[in-house]
């Protein structure tokens, strides 16, 4: 069973898995790098980004949220 997950970020804005993935792509990460970091397989990442898959499991959403937080922190430190 897949549970639709909208992730709430620090600003309490609801963020979709697609928006989170796009933020990682905007950091110049490849889908394979995202797969390795977030534990979501590359075909699912591709489907989410192109809009043919909207839902992710709760566990996958939490992993994605944690990976985005980690990568955003690294990007801010590099700036």
Q: What is the pLDDT of residues 19-40, one digit of tens each?
A: 999 999 999 999 999 999 999 9
Tell the residue number behind the tokens 């977030």, with chain if given. Answer: 38
Answer whether residue 50 shows pLDDT above 70: yes
Res 52: pLDDT = 96
Tell the residue number behind the tokens 């075909």, with chain if given. Answer: 43
Domain chopping of the chain, boundaries: 19-74
CA distance 65 to 52: 20
Contact 71, 37 (CB under 8 A): yes
Tell the CATH topology of 19-74. Answer: 434 Repressor (Amino-terminal Domain) (1.10.260)
CA distance 76 to 14: 22
Closest CA to 23 of 12, 38, 2: 38
Res 74: pLDDT = 77
Res 12: pLDDT = 42
Confidence of residue 15 (pLDDT cuts 50, 70, 90): confident
Res 77: pLDDT = 72
């Amino acid at each position: 069973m897949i549970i639709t997950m909208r992730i709430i970020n620090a600003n309490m804005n609801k963020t979709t898995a697609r928006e989170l993935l796009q933020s990682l792509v905007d950091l110049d990460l490849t889908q394979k790098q995202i797969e390795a970091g977030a534990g979501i397989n590359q075909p699912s990442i591709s489907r989410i980004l192109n809009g043919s898959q909207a839902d992710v499991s709760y566990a996958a959403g939490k992993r994605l949220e944690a990976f985005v937080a980690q990568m955003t922190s690294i990007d801010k430190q590099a700036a």
